[in-house]
Each structure stands twice: as structure tokens, then as C-alpha cells.
Amino acid sequence: MTSTLGPPPPYYENRGFQPEPPYAARPAAGAHPYPQLFSTNPPSVPSYIPRVATHQSTRPAAPPPRRTCAASLRKTIIIILSILIVICCAIAAFFIWYFVENNCLSSLIECGSSGVCMSPSQWCDGVSDCPNGEDETRCVRLFGPNFILQVYSPVSKAWYPVCQDDWNDDYGKIACKDMGYSVDTYFYSRGVPDVSFKSYMKLNTSAGNIDLYKKLYTSGSCGTGSVVSLRCIECGLASKSASIMNRIVGGSGAVLGQWPWQVSLHVQGTHVCGGSIITPHWLVTAAHCVEGRLSDPHSWRVYAGILNQDEMLFRSGYKVQLIISHPDYDTDSKDNDVALMKLETPLSFTENVRPVCLPNPGMMFQPNQQCWISGWGAEYQGGKTSNNLNYVAVPLIERSRCNAVYIYNGMILPTMICAGDLAGGIDSCQGDSGGPLVTHHHSVWWLVGDTSWGTGCATPNKPGVYGNMTVFTDWIYKNMQANR
């Protein structure tokens, strides 16, 4: 975490990725913009001189010359035929593309990219039909800042909120398990009044002891007028209040309980990266932290609820059981720079060790939303790891702005989000990677991003770049679910 305003020379450069689209050279003025498929000479059509019929004609008008007529007819037919051939080729090309891209016919749904097709009725029916069970992994989600439970209808290919009528915690626990949470962390399920929806999923309680999703049917009405708000874990609470945070300008030392989801990830007794607690078993970090030989879970020790690095040296830390890097992570561009760590033994939550909330789909962060970063990273460009945990407030920077030529010139992909001050002076730095970028919204702390990269540290017009957590939430749940 950098907090100095001094101008150390930038030395860290992000390599690779030249996203400039190769624009075609502009044709010379007056040049024909399209390839000439047909002659530009107008087809010779017999031209008639309109004759005004007089009262008496002595001789019938001479018939148009026969040879010219036949030739022009042939030409017209050739033109029409060529146009038809071009249209047929285009249609054929479209169908070839369609079947290569989507292996399944329109009424079927493909299992991942396996080429195996399933009927929509087999999707979300409680029975795993796909080779990797994809038909049952994405049937529920939590939407927006109020954690509205939504269920996917494969038939109408849409998400519906669940009507609170007859809903109870037992159903809530099933839905949480399906997202990858353990029942041990279940928090609550309650109805929230909402009239913005037109269709709902309703429980058919007389359906007997069958799978939850088979009991749900779509309906245009909901008796209570309330939809289910589901919390699978009590996340996003910090025991230290905002009054302390008001003091910060340009970075300061944290107190215990202020950023309880922050962890320090060690390799051979040294801090290497940061991470964020999302459940007792799972942490989020950056994919670039666990590259190469560091992808071995045995290399790592995890420290939670401790402010100072020197204190960690006397502790044993938590062992890592599994590391999952995003399959589409790209070393050069830092596209999809996110990874999951599963601990061998679960963390016990206390005042100082708590999870942060993963952002739900449908959450809108304001273009300049105030966020906070924390970590043990260098306090100035080229400096060493900090002994104490630091934090600083950073506003988000709109992607289009961050992609400006004088800032990151198109290197900010949809999986990334910029935050910081374009004037410089505040930023994350080496050693903060993998750690949290959080915001406080609807009285909950949300994980907006994970520290990923930047040119130098706190350099003007080179803000910090973070993994865009909202686009990773789905991937995270899928992997938690598959590795329970």
C-alpha cells in the first residue's frame, strides 16, 4: 500500500496485450469503396421513344430488334442468378457457423462445451444428466444488494424471484447448498416486499417429498407479495466502525476487526500475497499469486485475524488443501486474474476473522464509488513488505476513462476494474496482490475486486487495476459447489 507522495521512478510495467484493433487503411478519395463484382456499365435496355398515337397510322411500328432483347434478357438472368448464389452462400455460411458454435439444436441446451445436448426439462430438475452435472449447477442465484433468491427457468430461459408463500429455512438451506455453501454457515431467509416483478416461482407444497426445483412452478401472482431474500452466510460485517475510517487520507495503519476478511498468504515464512475470506473454507486471491511452482497448495500458509507480520512468524497458520486458478487467466494481459484457495481446516469466525460478501449479479457500483483497499504491500514503489496492515480509500474509475490513451490505453478488459486517484499518491503496491478492494453498500461490505496490477505504484494516471469480482461470482460458486 503506497501512501507517499514522493515521485519514485516507475519500474513495473505490465507486459503484452496490444488491444488496438488493426484498422484498414482508408481508401484514396474517389476510389471505389467496394470490390467491383459487376460491370459499372449500365445494362443496355432498349430505349423507347414515346410515340403519341395519331389518328391514323399508315404503317405498324417496327418491332424492337430481336437480338438486343435476347442479350439483355440473358444478362438480367445472370445478374439475378449471381445475386441468388451470393444469398445462398451467406445462408449456408450462417448455418455452418451456427452448428460449429452451438452444438445443440435450438430446443436443446448444451452441457458446458461438451457437445452433449439436454432437453430443457432435464435442466434444474434435481437429477444430474450432463457429464459434469452442468444441468444442475446454475439453477439458483442471489440477485442485487438485497440477496433476492432467483431460480432459473430453462423453459423461458429467464430468472424468476421466489415467492415467500410457504417458503421456510429448510428450502433456504437447500438453495444455499446448491450454490456451494455449507449448511453450517446458513444465516437466514426472509420475505421482502417487492412489487417490481411480474412473474414468480411458487412452491407447490402438495407435490410431496420431491426435489425443491420440481416443486417450483412459474406464476403471475404471489399471495404475500413478498419475495425470498436469502443469506447463506453472515458476511460483510466489520466489528470496527466507520468513525475510524474517516481519518484516512493517503493510507494508514489498520486496527483489528476493521478488515476481518483480509488474510496474509505466506510462502516459506514470507508474506507473498493478500487474500479475502468468503467462507470458513474458501479464500479469494489473484491467479498471478499462484502461478507456476506456487500453484502447489503445500507451499502456502494462511494467516487470518493478525495485524503484524512479525506476529505471524510465531504462529503456524492454516494449511491449504486446494488451489483453483481461473482457467482463462492470461499471464500477459492479466485477464481473469482470480484464484480460489480451499483451506484444510475451516477458519473459526471471531470479531477479527470474518467473511466479506461476494457481489451478486445485478449490483450496480457507481462510476466513482468509494472503495477501500488493504494489505501488507510495499509503502512506496520498490519498497519492502510492510509489517503492519495498511488501508486506503480509493474511488472506482470508469473503464472507458481508465482505457484512455494517456492512462491504460485499452488494456483494461471487462474482467478488470480500475480504482485510485489519477493525481497519484494513493495506491496498492507489490505485495498487496490478491487482497481485497471492498465497498460499503446497504450496510454490508462487498468484495468489488482483488488487487491485480498497475504500472509502478501511486504514479499519476496509472491507477491500480483489480480483478472485477462481479464477473467472477458465478465461477466462484460453481467451483465451491464442485469441490465441497
Beta carbon of residue 374, minimum distance to ligand ARG (angstroms, whole number):
13
The rounded distance, in Å, linking the Cα atoms of 211 and 337 is 36
CA distance 7 to 9: 6
Name which of 385, 255, 284, 292 is nearest 342 in CA terms.
284
Indicate whether 432 belongs to the interface with ligand ARG (CB under 6 A): yes
Q: Kindly state the smallest distance separating residue 420's Cβ from ligand ARG, in Å.
A: 7
Angle between helices 169-179 and 473-482 (to 10 degrees): 100
Q: Decide if residue 275 touches ligand ARG (CB under 6 A).
A: no
Instruction: Assess contact for 402 and 421: CB atoms under 8 A.
Output: no
Q: Counting beta carbons within 10 angstroms of the beta carbon of residue 414, is it exposed (0 to 12), middle (13 to 18) or buried (19 or more)?
A: exposed
CA distances from 81 to 76, 85, 271 (A): 9, 6, 72
Establish if 393 lies at the interface with ligand ARG (CB under 6 A). Answer: no
Of the candidates 335, 337, 427, 432, the residue annotated as catalytic is 337
The CA distance from 390 to 393, in Å, is 11
**What whole-number distance in Å separates Cα of residue 310 and Cα of residue 318?**
16
324 or 419: CB nearest ligand ARG: 419
Question: Among the candidate windows 79-87, 141-149, 409-417, 428-436, which touches ligand ARG by CB under 6 A?
Answer: 428-436
386 catalytic per annotation: no
Q: What is the largest CA-CA distance in the chain?
A: 123
Which of residues 309 and 428 has its CB atom nearest to ligand ARG in the complex? 428
User: Which is it for strands 282-285 and 339-343: parallel, antiparallel or unpaired?
Assistant: antiparallel
Q: Under rule CB under 6 A, how many of the chain's residues touch ligand ARG?
A: 13
Where does this chain touch ligand ARG (CB under 6 A) — which range of 184-192, 301-309, 325-333, 431-439? 431-439
CB of 373 to ligand ARG, least distance (A): 8
Measured CA to CA, the distance from residue 181 to residue 279 in angstroms comes to 8
Name which of residues 373 to 392 contact ligand ARG (CB under 6 A): 377
| Whole-number Å distance between alpha carbons of 420 and 459 | 10
Grid look-up 488474510 returns 263
- 441 catalytic? Reply is no
- Residue 408 Cβ vs ligand ARG, minimum distance, rounded to whole Å: 11
Residue 137 makes CB contacts below 8 A (sequence gap 6+) with: 178, 478, 481, 482
Instruction: Give the 3-state secondary structure of residue 310.
Output: helix
**CB 363 to ligand ARG: min, Å:** 23
Nearest to 241 by CA among 371, 145, 351: 351
Q: Active site includes 266?
A: no
Q: Is 257 an interacting residue with respect to ligand ARG (CB under 6 A)?
A: no
307 vs 397 by CB, closer to ligand ARG: 397
Closer of 336 and 428 to ligand ARG (Cβ) = 428
Q: According to CB under 6 A, which residues from 23 to 82 bind ligand ARG?
A: none
Q: Which stretch binds ligand ARG (CB under 6 A): 62-70, 137-145, 245-253, 425-433?
A: 425-433
442-471 positions binding ligand ARG, by CB under 6 A? 451, 453-454, 457, 464
- Single out the segment in contact with ligand ARG by CB under 6 A; choices: 297-305, 393-401, 430-438, 470-478: 430-438
The nearest distance, CB 296 to ligand ARG, in angstroms, is 18
Assess contact for 443 and 420: CB atoms under 8 A: no
Contact between 427 and ligand ARG (CB under 6 A)?
yes
Indicate the residue among 165 and 432 with the shorter CB distance to ligand ARG: 432
Alpha helices, DSSP H, located in 180-295: 212-215, 242-245
Residue 338 near ligand ARG by CB under 6 A: no
Does 428 sit near ligand ARG (CB under 6 A)? yes
User: Smaller CB distance to ligand ARG: residue 189 or 430?
Assistant: 430
Nearer to ligand ARG, 346 or 382 (CB): 382
Which lies closer to ligand ARG via its Cβ, residue 317 or residue 456? 456
Site for ligand ARG in 340-379 (CB under 6 A): 377
Report angle CA 394, 256, 231 to the nearest 5 degrees. 75
Binding site for ligand ARG (CB under 6 A): 377, 427-433, 451, 453-454, 457, 464
* Residues identified as active-site: 288, 337, 433
